[in-house]
Homo-oligomer: A and B are copies of this chain.
Amino acid sequence: MTIETARRMRGAVPSAIREILKVAERPDVLSFAGGLPAPELFPARELSQAFEAVLRKNPGAALQYGVTEGFLPLREWVAGRLRGRGIPASAESVMVVSGSQQGIDLVSRVLLDPGATVLVENPSYLAALQAFAAYEANVVALPGDADGLRTELLEEAVREHRPALIYLVPEFQNPRGTTLAADRRHALAAVASGHGVPVLEDDPYGALRFRGVSSTPIAALAHGLTFHLGTFSKTLAPGLRLGWVHAPKPLIRPLTVAKQACDLHTATLAQHAVVELLGTFDYEAHLGRLRAEYRQRCEAMLRALERSMPPGTRWTTPDGGLFLWLELPAGLRDDEVFHAAIDRAVAVVPGSGFFVGPPEHGFLRLNFSNQNVANIELGMARLGQTLSELLPASSPPLVHRDELSPAPRGL
């Protein structure tokens, strides 16, 4: 007996990255594929103490059903952090979600009718594209450069496509690691406000800045229109599945109704434990340790790339987060590099999966947070060898660059 699926499932493909991660899990493979934080920096002992404390002090509440909006002390803590970044948040504007991916899903559910347009940066975070696809949205992508989304193209795109939502990761974007420049944030906020277009500001990595100074979040510039997502996945641990949405207050109600139907509420126990942890643990010092370590790993990767990559290879220089974006020398394709690298026991993510529209095959995404410096050096040396061996011995390359992908855009 065949069961027919709904129309919204027909365009849905499983995340290429998650499929790749399965290959990357081979124990002999050095993986730079996943967006995984460093497990040795998880505050496991402190979390264990926090779970013990809430299960001893107030087990009846910590294990019972909870309110859909989330545990009030956690909403208050989040609102305080956001106010510290210039966002006029309060507990009433914050909803706890089961990881910030759920925030993307819920905002989509509340805002997107089938056929609605979402404007994104190209390339873009894959699981956000999947969420928009599940609501049968029409995704229109604008190019980015070293300073993030090219906001000078936004006004015209908004006039042409009348989007229901603008989605972006302004800090250390996934996959490119780039950050939206301050002036572009103001430009984006002006266009969004001028046309009344809601903005979904996805900020999973903002706390992981290890260089430079933070710019104002878009939620502080276009307050009444911006949904701002954050998470503990990169700062405490992804396995907790705890994130938050700050939303324009009138939208908290529909988000709550949507979440009720999705999963009733986020795990009470994890919320209580994290509130307990934050009351005793020096979270700022912990973030300091994460930033120092990720800076070291990022710099090790940048040095190793300088040393190991053949001429014609370029890459971004992130100021934080987990990723950089590597542009292959002319003539190389991301998929052939992926397979050749796996043969050398190195896993990377082919960049083509992150593109909206025709995939570009000249890029790789590299994660620097999940391997130590020695492994980063070893892995980049292997990757460099892989690229060098795939390149034709003599120039010019067999296939001309322009046949493979458009001109690089300010990497």
Contact = CB atoms under 8 A, between A and B. Distances in A.
Interface residues of A, number: 89
A256 B14 contact: yes
A238 B42 contact: no
Interface in A153-171: 164
B63 A261 contact: no
A18 B67 CA distance: 8
A63 B44 contact: yes
A134 interface: yes
Contacts of A5: 110-111, 251, 254
Interface string A43-57: 011011001100110
B196 A12 contact: no
Contact of A60 (B42, B240, B272): B42
B111 A6 contact: yes
A262 B68 CA distance: 16
Contact of A260 (B4, B14, B67, B239): B14
B36 A64 contact: yes
A240 B55 CA distance: 12
A161 to B, nearest CB: 16
B66 A239 contact: yes
A9 B51 contact: no
A132 B264 CA distance: 14
Given A18-B260, A109-B134, A261-B133, A248 B3 contact: yes
A101 B254 CA distance: 18
Contacts of A127: 260-261, 264
Interface string A233-262: 100011111000000101101101110111
Q: Is the interface of A mostly helix, strand, loop or mixed?
A: helix
B9 A134 contact: no
A379 B241 CA distance: 39
Contacts of A2: 196, 250
Contacts of A116: 6
Given A6-B111, A55-B47, A239 B267 contact: yes
Given A239-B66, A239-B267, A241-B267, A1 B113 contact: no
23 contacts: A3-B111, A3-B248, A5-B110, A6-B112, A9-B257, A14-B256, A14-B257, A18-B67, A18-B68, A39-B61, A40-B60, A42-B59, A51-B51, A51-B55, A63-B239, A101-B264, A114-B114, A134-B258, A239-B272, A240-B267, A241-B263, A241-B265, A269-B270
Given A3-B111, A134-B258, 4 more contacts: A12-B254, A114-B114, A239-B267, A241-B266
